[in-house]
Structure 1
Amino acid sequence: MKFSLRPQDNAFYDFFSRAAQNLVRGTELLSELALPGADVQSVSERLSEVEHDSDQITHELYTKINSTFITPFDREDIYDLGSGLDDVMDHIEAVGNFVYLYGLTKLPALPREMHELVDVLDQQARLTAAAMPRLKGMKGMKEYWVEINRLENEGDRAHRMLLVRLFSGEYDALTVLKMKEVADELEAACDAFEHVANTVETISVKES
């Protein structure tokens, strides 16, 4: 039987779970942007509120690290995981803000590939939220980071196809510039989810 001299402080796991649940809320709000008659300003403002809450969670996590003598796993990994989750939220908020500020919902329709990227993010968010409570036992985690990696590859494909569409001549130059910023933030969010999964894998290997 394996014994651990590290404390089983649930507070750290609670921080990660709360941050991951905010990512689910964030991707749900992004999905609202595609709905007919969506109040885009309201969605953007609610995204900012969720992002502020995530910032507060990250601040509380760092305070907890600095006031805890022995942590459940390596401090640098706790910092990395906390900042990684916060980075995802920053990219998600940026997508909503750009769509609102650039008035992109006034277009007849957002590109299909953009919807595909949001769907990938939603799947990644739900997988991440389901995985965070399992960090304490480190059981059945491999399926999580393998699937996150697969989804990141799917997001890369959708991003490439979106760029092809943007530069096909279907849109005017200014709209292309606006939508490319949104596309790049969507891809960055997919990549940030993969970074979180890679951090979890690192922790799992160290703790096994």
Structure 2
Amino acid sequence: MRFNLRPRADEFYDFFKEAADNLVKGAAILSELSLPDADHQSISDRLVDTEHANDDVTHRMLRTLNSTFVTPFDREDIYQLGSQLDDVMDHMEAVGNLIYLYGLSKLPSLPREMHELIEVLIASADQTLQAMSRLKSMRDLEPYWIEVNRLENEGDRAYRMLLVRLFSGEYDALTVMKLKEVADELEAAADAFEHVANTVETIAVKES
């Protein structure tokens, strides 16, 4: 394997920004679930396409990492950050897939708390994209991880209220099981955004 001793300085930062941009696109697609005439199959299909695009970013980043001798910061942190960004997209894709495959579009509407969790993902994606644009300079990153932590806590509250609603008797047992699996993916996506923020904080501390 040919190693590049002098990588283009912006190469890894470009990968991170591209991945974060995919997360913004994925969250925007999920937001369509709140529309009264939402096309659930289209939402699922477009999330799959976005997830595949993000996989491509991750693979290109890993190929570059494996063929680069000098990296802008720790190789382990580059690998972890790239993998965690990909994890977020995987969870968002799962949300759209499960809602479509489980036939949850037949419900009059999804629980309000699910839409609140999606709003958390939209805000977290926006914060992450802004942070990836500042990663190279390592400046003004602390407000990012503080805000993502706050959003994750907000998501936890919405998730707990969603569980209360699911087990209130409003839905039949099978629907509860289906909605619970979707809820778990939404919470996992919010958690995954926080994992990204924690890794950025670790990188910033190391590089300070």
34-43 vs 76-85, greater mean Cα deviation: 34-43
* 1:16 maps to 2:16: yes
SS of the aligned residue for 2:139 comes to: coil
- Residue 9 of structure 1: how far off its partner (Å): 1.3
In structure 1, the partner of 2:78 is 78
36-45 vs 151-160, greater mean Cα deviation: 36-45
SS of the aligned residue for 1:136 comes to: coil
* 1:151 maps to 2:154: no
Q: Unpaired segments of 5 or more residues in structure 2?
A: 1-5
Letter in 2 for 1:77: D
In structure 1, the partner of 2:26 is 26
CA RMSD of aligned residues (A): 1.1
In structure 2, distance between residues paired with 1:194 and 1:39:
30
Question: For each residue in 1:112-144, what CA deviation from the matched residue of structure 2 results, as whole angstroms up to 9, or x when unmatched?
Answer: 100000000000000001110100000000000
In structure 2, the partner of 1:65 is 65
In structure 2, the partner of 1:3 is none
- Residue 104 of structure 1: how far off its partner (Å): 1.1
- Residue 43 of structure 1: how far off its partner (Å): 1.0
In structure 1, distance between residues paired with 2:11 and 2:105:
40
67-76 vs 104-113, greater mean Cα deviation: 104-113
Seq. identity, %: 70
1:25-104 matches, cutoff 5 A? 25-104=25-104
- Residue 7 of structure 1: how far off its partner (Å): 6.9
TM-score by length of 2: 0.96
In structure 1, the partner of 2:3 is none
* 1:109 maps to 2:109: yes
In structure 1, the partner of 2:207 is 207
In structure 1, distance between residues paired with 2:158 and 2:113:
6
Question: For each residue in 1:36-61, what CA deviation from the matched residue of structure 2 results, as whole angstroms up to 9, or x when unmatched?
Answer: 11111111001000000000000000
Q: Unpaired segments of 5 or more residues in structure 1?
A: 1-5
Does the Cα contact within 8 Å between 2:7 and 2:68 map onto a contact in 1?
no
SS of the aligned residue for 1:69 comes to: coil
In structure 2, distance between residues paired with 1:154 and 1:39:
28
